[in-house]
Structure 1
Amino acid sequence: MSASVDPNQYTVKHEPYYEAVGDEIALYEAAYSARMPMMLKGPTGCGKSRFVEHMAWRLKRPLITVACNEDMTASDLVGRFLLDKDGTKWQDGPLATAARMGAICYLDEIVEARQDTTVVIHPLTDHRRTLPLDKKGELIEAHPDFQLVISYNPGYQSLMKDLKQSTKQRFGALDFDYPREAIEIAIVSKESGVDEKTAAKLVQIAHRARNLKGHGLDEGISTRLLVYAGQLINKGVTPLAACSMTMVTPLTDDPDMRDTLNAAVQTFFG
């Protein structure tokens, strides 16, 4: 399987736009030079995935991303035998593929996966840097350039959905949050094409909504949703409609909370 996988298909060919908010780029580069497994912690839509893409581009490494979910099994990560007209053949999973080729493997929202699934990453995240393929009877020794990166949203932690300490303590970690106001305005303007004045209004609405987290909202308005709103405005959609579609309706079904959010939108675009 590994011989037929072209690393170029996983190469990030164009620079993903990423606006640094601190020294996270230098810290990540140092971690990669040590091949340290990394954990990115922060709220939904604050730039964790974009950061990984940007770093893969900077480091010129292939990037294999896995969106974790509660139905994902260890075989989905590691690989399985498949039937075809010639009988059975082994198919590497994304983790095995990344370990063989020396890619960065990014497990997005890892706490969504079952704990019995996540334990398969343990041998790759300590001095062994190996991946046992028990069903195949093979032990993969990770390529020297391989690195494992995971992300999760601490805001959704619970007793049922959190990483074991035995997993957490295998990783270095970087905290992510929504960018500072000036940086977020620049990001929204650049990514959506709206002028900075409009971007500033969108960011101000987001700040008001983020203050409601834990007081009626599970999550604040993400930078990603601000970019969506800006893109619609840039396509000629009225700001009120664009904000309702991207910054109000996706967040909540509660009528009172929608009224509160719509009032914030009206304040800036009414």
Structure 2
Amino acid sequence: MSETHRDQYLIREEPYYRTVEDEVRLYEAAYAARMPVMLKGPTGCGKSRFVEYMAWRLERPLITVACNEDMTASDLVGRFLLDADGTRWQDGPLTVAARIGAICYLDEVVEARQDTTVVIHPLTDHRRCLPLEKKGELVEAHPDFQIVISYNPGYQSLMKDLKQSTKQRFGALDFSYPGAAIEAEIVAHEGGIERDQADRLVQVAQRSRNLKGHGLDEGMSTRLLVYAAQLMAKGIEPRAAAQMALVRPLTDDPDMRDTLDAAVDTYF
């Protein structure tokens, strides 16, 4: 793989990431050991942004795969394609990452079928290789290669949890929504609003998170708070912004919407 091909996956500008605890130091140590890393936490709490930030900080290319239940092993490793000249092999994102020494980030990995996720096993132990069985090639992982996966453990059924044989190949970092002051700082920065308004949005979100398991599958994420802030920064009235970005995406239940709308009214 050429340097030009590798360069297209580099993060050019520093992504905004607010450190919460010692996750940066822990990840740097894991990367130095080329340890596979698992990021566990609720949706929209900053897992993907953290990976982008670390790839930028370490000056490593990043290849991200959004996992889904229809994804096959061939989608990850590659397949033969037909073109005007006959058949040709096209590497999948996992194979490209292994060849060029990228960080390969499998987002929401439990959404993929278990028979798909097992293809990462040879890359996550001492072998650090990827067999391309259809092509008859064994790809030795580049020394800089690392695999990172993420998922939301609180939102998965037992049928969709990771196998122990997969889990125990990774070091793990727990993510959660940051404390109120830090979350408000993030929302103000990313959304372009005043800190006072960000504080109020965070208070609404905390109300919603207390309802998880009591009518809501998930509370309002930091991502949704940023969306609401961005609408407010564009001149949308706070209550309307909160309804569009916070309440309506979260639930279709009329009673729960009324409850969340009341929380919005309390702070705006």
Please give the TM-score of this superposition, normalised by the length of structure 2: 0.99
Deviation of 1:250 after TM superposition, in Å, equals 0.3
Matched, 1:237 2:229: no
> What is the match of residue 83 of structure 2?
84
Which residues in structure 2 correspond to 1:43-192 (within 5 Å)? 43-192=42-191
1: CA distance, partners of 2:216 / 2:8: 39
Secondary structure at 1:88 match in 2 = strand
2: CA distance, partners of 1:249 / 1:46: 19
Deviation of 1:257 after TM superposition, in Å, equals 0.2
TM-aligned CA distance change 1:186 to 1:117, over 3 Å:
same
> What is the match of residue 213 of structure 2?
214
Q: Which runs of 5+ in 2 are unaligned?
A: none
> What is the match of residue 257 of structure 1?
256
Deviation of 1:159 after TM superposition, in Å, equals 1.6
1: CA distance, partners of 2:156 / 2:242: 29
CA RMSD of aligned residues (A): 0.9
For 1:216-247, what per-residue CA distance to the aligned partner results, in whole angstroms no more than 9, with x for missing partners? 00001000000000000000001111000010
Deviation of 1:201 after TM superposition, in Å, equals 0.2
1: CA distance, partners of 2:2 / 2:165: 33
2: CA distance, partners of 1:3 / 1:192: 38
Deviation of 1:4 after TM superposition, in Å, equals 9.0
> What is the match of residue 38 of structure 2?
39
1: CA distance, partners of 2:4 / 2:124: 23
Deviation of 1:264 after TM superposition, in Å, equals 0.2
Which residues in structure 2 correspond to 1:15-30 (within 5 Å)? 15-30=14-29
Deviation of 1:95 after TM superposition, in Å, equals 0.1
Deviation of 1:3 after TM superposition, in Å, equals 4.9
Secondary structure at 1:219 match in 2 = coil
Structure 1 runs, 4 residues or longer, greater than 3 Å off: 2-5
How many residues matched? 268
For 1:19-74, what per-residue CA distance to the aligned partner results, in whole angstroms no more than 9, with x for missing partners? 01000000000000000000000000000000000000000000000000000000
Please give the TM-score of this superposition, normalised by the length of structure 1: 0.98
Give the partner amino acid of 2:211: L
For 1:113-153, what per-residue CA distance to the aligned partner results, in whole angstroms no more than 9, with x for missing partners? 00000000000000000000000000000000000000000
2: CA distance, partners of 1:256 / 1:154: 27
Q: Percent identity?
A: 76
1: CA distance, partners of 2:143 / 2:6: 15
> What is the match of residue 227 of structure 2?
228
